[in-house]
Amino acid sequence: MARLDRQRLARLLPYLGRDRKRLLFTLLLLIPVATAAAIQPLLVGQAIAVLRGEPTMAWLTGMPVAQALRLLVLLLLGAVLLRLGLQGLQTYSVQAVGQRLTARIRDDLFAHAMALSLRFHDRTPVGKLLTRLTSDVDALAEVFGSGAVGVLADLVTLLVIAVTMLSIEWRLGLLLLASQVPVVLGMLWLQRRYRRANYRVREELSQLNADLQENLQGLEVVQMFRREAVNSARFGRTTDAYRKAVTGTILFDSAISAFIEWVALVAVALVLALGGAMVSGGLMGLGTLTTFILYSQRLFDPLRQLAERFTQIQGGLTAVERIGELLEQPIEIQDLPAAERSAAAVRSSRQRSSAGEVVFENVSFAYREDDPILTDLSFRITPGEHVALVGPTGSGKTTVIRLLCRLYEPQRGRILLDGIDIRELAIPTLRQRLGVVLQDTFLFSGNVADNLRLDAPITTEDLERLCAELGLVELLRRLPDGLATELRERGGNLSSGERQLLSVARVAIRDPSVLVMDEATAFMDPATEATLQRDLDRLLQQRTAIVIAHRLATVEAADRILVLKRGRLIEQGSHGELRQAGGLYAQLADLQERGLAAL
Ligand SMILES: Nc1ncnc2c1ncn2[C@@H]1O[C@H](COP(=O)(O)OP(=O)(O)OP(=O)(O)O)[C@@H](O)[C@H]1O
């Protein structure tokens, strides 16, 4: 096993947690189970020896035939029952440990995926991530559920049978053991090839899930643009690639099974040939030959199962590799260690709110190295100031907001909130101080109250009062169960205006120090818009605000306007000043006044 595999498996060990003892108990059960299995051919052989009057084991010698047979039958029955009982207990116990272990891994993977920066998620399709969290973790559960302990059980059974055989008749024992060598070599040879093929299967499955997820999420557009046939054909190609990848693994799977069957038959034939000669030469009794014929079959049982589990285990190792890759993704954006934070930052982190001064100092940023988005951006927004960010599409306005919220980190320069580098602030503190309203409102499935509260500990009565203050009563009355109305995924059962109102309310409830907003361009009826505007006005009062403005009215009302072009700050000032200056802003405002464009 590769070193990396071992390291990754070792990393999973802590997940066993308090199940270690239970697993140890299960492993201890392997010995009686294997012994009970190995003893059965021996007892059958002894029964035949008793019947034929051949030499038997010491404890049967001199016993009357009928009594010896009764005893052997009882022992055989006992061995079978013991094996069944213990194996049942073992299987249950192992499955339970496996399920608990994988639940812990899945929880950790989820938490890790949630903590990874947007930069990681930008390059990872959701469907691919889902595959790692679902079927890869399931593949690992299978290994723990039956595979890993099963393999150990098979190995212990092999060992017990080998020792028993060698002590009864070493020549036949050696012959049978030697017949296992080609099987083991064959399995090792196939293992690496299977592993590669299995990794491809997982990749194709990820692609399949990614395609599925994208199409279902964009179903509205798919149907509207009648893309069903085209997308189905594309999906067909993905399923075909998946089918081919799976077929590639079936080949290895069936090859190893067929090979084992073939070697097992050859082994029986060899035992019959050599053992038969020994029996006719008087070197061995028929009882012992029977024992060995039974052993030659039983010996291949664990190997057959090993081959079956071999695919499971390889699948599990692939899963470990893929899960490991995800867990090893560094969390780029996290809190600085306490020792590296300045005293001011620590003090500030303890306070709930702050004045709300925002400073960008020579900030440069690129999503991709070769494509700078913001270049040497510097500005200062004083506490309580309202600033409108304006600029052509793609000029970097949303990126400024993302950097301020620390969803991405600038490659150069720094961003300060109330004089403290945002990297030094605890992330929850930073995000609590910033109230963000995005254009594309995201609501979770769950009820309206939960969506408004999110992480804030607010009682239902307080929530009702706040909603009344925010003028949401009308909206809540329209909803079938008011605050308790269940929302579909992404708030799909609300209109975009209603979603906007809720997203503004959700921020207002948190009372942030700085309001960051991407103004909605979606059309709203005058009543809804008036409610929204009232809420926003209230939110803006005595609070710093950075608004990506699309409407002239918002821009005109701002204390200062920052004009961005290709990630550079090219103009700033009030509406009047910038109109007079006759630059880019004046052109944009002019176009909007003539109804030709939004800002
Ligand atoms: N996640 C991303 N990965 C790579 N490039 C991105 C990403 N997000 C945005 N960009 C690019 O960065 C540039 C600036 O995007 P940004 O969203 O900040 O512009 P904007 O000024 O807000 O535009 P708009 O007014 O259209 O919303 C665009 O050219 C865009 O293609």
* Domain CATH number, residue 196: 1.20.1560.10
Classify residue 371 as exposed, middle or buried by CB count within 10 Å of its CB (0-12, 13-18, 19+). Answer: exposed
Do 273 and 401 lie in one domain? The reply is: no
Q: 293 and 432 share a domain?
A: no
Supply the pLDDT for residue 175. Answer: 86
Q: Are residues 282 and 359 in the same domain?
A: no
Of 329, 318, 321, 424, nearest to 111 by C-alpha is 329
Question: How many Å lie between the centroid of ligand 1 and the Cα of residue 390?
Answer: 14
Residues 285 and 361 in one domain: no
SS3 of 492, please? Answer: coil
Mean pLDDT of 333-360: 82
Q: Which one of 141-145, 453-457, 482-486 scores highest in mean pLDDT?
A: 482-486
CATH number where 426 lies: 3.40.50.300
Least confident of 163-172, 181-190, 509-518: 181-190
pLDDT digits (tens, 9 = 90+) for 281-323: 888 888 888 888 888 878 878 777 777 777 777 778 888 888 8
Compute the distance from residue 379 Cα to the ligand 1 centre, in Å: 20
**CA dist., res. 203 & res. 248, Å (int):** 13
Burial class (CB within 10 angstroms; exposed 0-12, middle 13-18, buried 19+) of 537:
exposed
Confidence of residue 36 (pLDDT cuts 50, 70, 90): confident
Closest residue by Cα to residue 299 from 409, 174, 445, 448: 174
Choosing from 123, 367, 400 the residue with most ligand 1 atoms within 8 A of its CB, the one to mutate for a pocket test is 367
Which of 561, 500, 492 is closest to 535 using CA atoms?
A: 500
Q: How confident is the model at residue 1 (pLDDT cuts 50, 70, 90)?
A: low
- 453 in contact with ligand 1, CB cutoff 6 A: no
| Res 243: pLDDT | 94
440 lines ligand 1 (CB under 6 A): no
Decide if pLDDT at 522 tops 60.
no
Q: Are residues 50 and 171 in the same domain?
A: yes
Q: Which of 310, 327, 344 is the last residue of a domain?
A: 327
Percent of the chain topping pLDDT 70 = 95
Two tokens, residue 449? 């109250």
Q: Which residue has the higher pLDDT, 9 or 263?
A: 263
pLDDT for the residue numbered 482:
81
pLDDT at 437 over 90: no
Burial 433-458 (b: 16+ CB within 10 A, else e): bbbbbebebebeeebbbebbbeeeeb
Does the pLDDT of residue 183 top 60, yes or no? Answer: yes
Q: Are residues 409 and 262 in the same domain?
A: no
Which is higher by pLDDT, 588 or 399? 399
The predicted structure's pLDDT at residue 524? 63
Measured in Å, residue 398 CA sits from the centre of ligand 1 at 7
d(CA 576, CA 559): 11
Ligand 1 center from residue 342 Cα (angstroms): 33
Determine the distance separating the centroid of ligand 1 and the alpha carbon of 396, expressed in angstroms: 6
Cα of 581 from ligand 1 centre, angstroms = 27
Q: What is the pLDDT of residue 563?
A: 93
- Is pLDDT of 523 > 60? no
How many domains would you assign to the chain?
2
CA nearest neighbour of 405 among 440, 432, 366, 374: 432
pLDDT at position 485 is: 83
Helices 170-178/148-168 angle, 10° precision: 150
* C-beta of residue 540 within 8 angstroms of C-beta of residue 549: no
User: How far out from the chain centre does Cα 67 lie?
Assistant: 62
Q: Are residues 433 and 559 in the same domain?
A: yes
- The pLDDT score that the predictor gives to residue 299 is 81
Distance from C-alpha of 178 to C-alpha of 119, rounded to nearest angstrom: 56
Residues 442 and 320 in one domain: no
Ligand 1 atom at minimum distance from 122 CA: 1
Same domain, 389 and 293: no
> Residue holding tokens 């029986």?
268
The pLDDT score that the predictor gives to residue 598 is: 58
The pLDDT score that the predictor gives to residue 520 is 64
Mean pLDDT of 146-168: 80
Q: How far is residue 461 from each of residues 165, 171, 213, 465, 466, measured CA to CA in Å?
A: 78, 85, 39, 6, 9
Do residues 156 and 303 both lie within one domain? yes
- pLDDT of 518 over the 90 cut: no
Among residues 309, 327, 345, which one ends one of the domains? 327
Q: Is residue 484 within 8 Å of residue 449, measured between CB atoms?
A: yes
Range of the domain at 555: 354-593
Least confident span in 18-32, 60-74, 510-524: 510-524
**Mean pLDDT in residue range 364-389:** 93
- Ligand 1 neighbourhood includes 393 CB (under 6 angstroms): yes
Amino acid at 204: E
Q: Verify that 29 and 115 share a domain, yes or no.
A: yes
**DSSP 3-state assignment of 412?**
strand
On the CB side of 229, how many CA atoms lie within 13 Å of its CA? 1
* pLDDT tens column, 96-138: 888 888 888 899 999 999 999 888 888 888 888 888 888 888 8
